[in-house]
């Protein structure tokens, strides 16, 4: 069970207070009506499943109800950083 630092509350809390909401940094296309079916399908359904660093959205569901991003290692389950929505990760996989 994870021990998660909420960047909004400024505290570590138990995983039970949070939900994971999937991959982060999936911006909604600004002009959906001009996306092709393929482009919209990519946005809707295509997700990364990396072995290693992953950027995810979480919500402090039973706490402050705010969303934030998390960089997590999917192998070791280490949380490398949490950062607010709109910010970019500082820990990224070597490309």
Site residues (vs another protein, CB under 8 A): 1-3, 14, 19, 21, 27-28, 31-33, 35, 37, 40-41, 43-44, 57, 59, 61, 65-67, 73, 75-79, 85-86
**N-terminal to C-terminal alpha carbon distance within the chain:** 29
Per DSSP bridges, beta strands 53-59 and 67-73 are antiparallel
Judged by beta carbon distances under 5 to 8 A according to partner kind, the member of another protein, Zn ion, none in contact with residue 8 is Zn ion
User: How far apart, in whole angstroms, are the C-alpha atoms of residue 52 and residue 92?
Assistant: 10
CB of 95 vs another protein, minimal distance in Å? 23
Per DSSP bridges, beta strands 11-14 and 3-6 are antiparallel
- 78 or 92: whose CB is closer to another protein? 78
């Amino acid at each position: 069970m994870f021990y998660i630092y909420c960047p909004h509350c400024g505290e570590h809390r138990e995983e039970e207070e949070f939900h994971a909401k999937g991959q982060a940094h999936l911006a909604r296309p600004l002009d959906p009506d001009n996306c092709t079916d393929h482009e919209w399908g990519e946005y809707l359904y295509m997700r990364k499943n990396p072995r290693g660093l992953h950027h995810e959205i979480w919500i402090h569901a039973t706490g402050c109800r705010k969303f934030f991003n998390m960089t997590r290692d999917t192998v070791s389950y280490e949380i490398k950083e949490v950062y607010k929505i709109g910010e970019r990760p500082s820990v990224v996989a070597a490309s």
